[in-house]
Chains A and B, each alone.
Chain A
Amino acid sequence: MYRYDEFDRDFVSARVAQFRDQVERRLSGDISEDAFKPLRLMNGVYLQLHAYMLRVAIPYGTLSSKQMRMLAHIARKYDRGYGHFTTRQNIQYNWPKLGDIPDILEDLAGVEMHAIQTSGNCIRNVTADHFAGAAADEVADPRPYAEILRQWSSLHPEFSFLPRKFKIAVTAAENDRAAIQVHDIGLQLKKNDEGQIGFAVWIGGGQGRTPMIAKKIKDFLPEADLLSYVTAIMRVYNLHGRRDNKYKARIKILVHETGTEELAAQIEAEWAHLRDGELRLPDADVARITDYFAAPDLPARAEGWAELAAWKKADSGFASWVTQNVRPHRHPDYGMVTISLKPIGGIPGDASDAQMDAVADLAEQYSADEIRVTHEQNLVLPHVALADLEPLYRALQAEGLATANSGLVTDIIACPGLDYCALANARSIPVAQEISERFGDQARQEEIGDLKIKISGCINACGHHHVGHIGILGVEKKGAELYQITLGGSADENTSIGEIVGRGFEPEKVTDAIETIVSTYLSGRSGTDEAFIDYYRRVGAAPFKEALYGDKAEAA
């Protein structure tokens, strides 16, 4: 893991002092709420429906046990005993007092964490594959590059007042687990024929009210040119991105309106000036950052193979959990364990202080002190010996963290919705809870197989409904909540935007509609090996429309 050096520590301390000064000026009335807003946003502080909300950065979703314990401490001391892990691998607290926030930031700085640029019209927390450094299929660890981008983008003097927020994601595997095609910049780490590292560069993906899939503008950007090329993209966007309408201000609209080829040419022209300048990355610097992410020492634990087989035979619950939540590690004696934060009927992504402490202890004991946060709002222990899976499972069970539903119908992404959010038109959490209850039976979930349901409480799409196999969008119609359903979305290497299936459903009818969709799939699929998304891609929306609306099928 990356560790702060003196420079990083001094920087974060100075940033905390700067924010403390800003809060003091706000509280004394020197700055108005209007002027304070962009300042607090650049440090992750929102004003929500009922209270301030603080979003803490978890760069590329990687945490140590010590850091997780601090997150638990903050939940306990300054909040109501829980935190909410987000779709951008961060954590947010829903109830801090503004006056406490500088102290919270100081506590965070003590474990090398911060809330810098977790909001606002600047370059946000850089995300990466949550299985980075453990997955068998990656070209190289993407996190060193995410860390270099994190550093370079921190308090960037030219790019802190962009037309709109800006999100960068990095993946290093063909199987894209970082959803790079729905980011402002998506970087896919790859090697060329000479074995050199570089990036395929995608720009202009995004969700919100105008979902768009990113366009590839460079097939192989050499590693040394990473910062100069990203600077070129940012400069062209800062100068030419629309500022007349916040809903048209993301780079996706600039790409769309300018044309991919023309914009790529502008970026290329800007880059020509920057390429050989100060931003060129020396090999030695990349190597030093990469060293921080060296794989932990994982001794051979071959005894786990036989033990695992015996444990699975003895306990079907454990067997289900291993099947759903454990993925092969690049070391054959180890696995990557997903800790579901989606208990049946629970709030997606929430964890209590006690649960966070427990995960910290278990990571220390079983996973080389490492924890990951996924964009699907779960946690991961990336390096667990097969021989430790059974005791780990027991310990997770005791904390209510052993739900065996990773990738299944109850592994739902949901935004906070109208229960917390000032932008929402409709509730998301209760919808997720009811669907989770309805489909909670383990055997039934497994029968249904891979199925991603994603729920947003408004068109800003924080719940990623556009890329859900089944997407649910809450809207407000004549003062009441109504839920539109989309089908066929996906955020992996075959990214697609879901299509609206028909008119929306009242809150009490959503779960029945999901049930109808699932039944339609189950009765129509060619076999258990045809997943929901594959079935949809084969047959399209017709059988679903027919089942949902019968002869009265009509456009929404």
Chain B
Amino acid sequence: MSTIVWNREGVVEDDRWATVEGESAFVSMDEALELAATGGREIGVLVEPADDPARLKPILDRLAIIALDFPAFNDGRAFSHAALLRDRLGYGGEIRGVGDVLLDQVPFMLRVGIDSVETAHEPTARRLTEMRLPGVDLHYQPAALKAEPTNTYSWRRRAAV
């Protein structure tokens, strides 16, 4: 089973943070906090569903990338983590969705502020490679990803082109 890393530009080859043969390059939040204190190498941190991403606040500018874990299709905590990282903590770096990432979640992930995803699910990888996303471009609520206001109601948005 091969995994791909994908962002809005397309498939990312030889990504520095890609999982290789089951080996993840990300460290836990505790490890990240330690590493940041000691300085040195680039940090990619994995935020798990039960973690509180606000703990990263003091080290956000030391992070190269934040991975948000989607351990199962029905665990949606990472959607709120992304929203908090973008809207509340003002994190401007890359956020990646990892784990059980399936096609139909990807449009939602992009909207809450996730930039890239890693997936091992073959049909998902195929559709992402073809840049055929199943999302709806009209939104009834604001979200972290910049979108255009409409001339109708304050809560509506239209995907930026």
A contact residues vs B (CB 8 Å cutoff)? 5, 7, 10-11, 14-15, 18, 21-22, 25, 30-31, 35, 38-39, 121, 148, 151-162, 227, 235, 238-239, 243, 273, 278-282, 285, 288-289
| Contact-residue size bin, chain B (C-beta under 8 Å from the other chain) | 35 or more
Q: Are B74 and A121 in contact (CB under 8 A)?
A: yes
B117 interface residue (CB < 8 Å to A): no
Bound CA–CA A307/B48 (angstroms): 71
User: Does B154 make an interface contact (CB < 8 A)?
Assistant: yes
Number of A-B contacts (CB under 8 A): 106
Query: 7 tightest A-B contacts by CB?
Result: A161-B76, A157-B111, A157-B108, A30-B123, A14-B136, A278-B142, A11-B138
State how many angstroms separate the Cβ of A284 from the closest Cβ of chain B.
9
CA distance A413 to B77 in the complex (A): 36
6 new A-B contacts at CB < 8 Å, known A7-B138, A22-B104, A158-B79:
A5-B152, A11-B138, A148-B155, A152-B141, A161-B74, A161-B79
Cα distance, A35 to B108, chains bound together (Å): 16
Cα A39 to Cα B74 in complex, Å, equals 11
* Among A14, A25, A156, A289: residue with most chain B CB under 10 A: A156
B114 nearest in chain A by CB position: A157
Q: How far is the CB of A524 from chain B (nearest CB, A)?
A: 50
Contact A157–B138 (Cβ < 8 Å): no
Task: Please pick, from B49, B76, B88, B138, the residue contacting A162 in the complex, using a CB distance under 8 A.
Answer: B76
In the complex, the answer to whether B142 meets A151 with C-beta atoms within 8 Å is no
Would A160 and B138 be within 8 Å (CB), given that A30-B123, A239-B80 are in contact? no
What are 6 of the A-B contact pairs (CB < 8 Å)? A7-B156, A31-B123, A38-B73, A152-B155, A238-B80, A278-B142
B residues bordering A, Cβ < 8 Å? 49, 73-77, 79-81, 83, 88, 102, 104-105, 107-109, 111-112, 123, 134-143, 150, 152-156
Partner of A14, one of B76, B111, B137: B137
Task: Choose among B111, B135, B156 the residue with the greatest number of A CB atoms under 10 Å from its CB.
Answer: B156
Residues of B within 8 A of A289 (CB): 153
Q: Which residue of A lies closest to B73 (CB)?
A: A38
- In the bound assembly, the distance between CA atoms of A243 and B104 in angstroms comes to 21
Residue of A with least CB distance to B136: A14
- Whether A281 contacts B136 by the Cβ 8 Å rule is no
Q: How far is the CB of A238 from chain B (nearest CB, A)?
A: 5
> Given A238-B79, A243-B75, do A22 and B112 touch, yes or no (CB 8 Å)?
no
A178 to chain B, nearest CB (A): 23
Q: CA–CA, A14 to B152, complex, Å?
A: 18
The answer to whether A18 and B136 touch (CB under 8 A), given A39-B104, A279-B155, is yes
Closest to A231 in B: B141
A157 in contact with B153 given A14-B138, A30-B123, A38-B73 (CB within 8 Å) = no
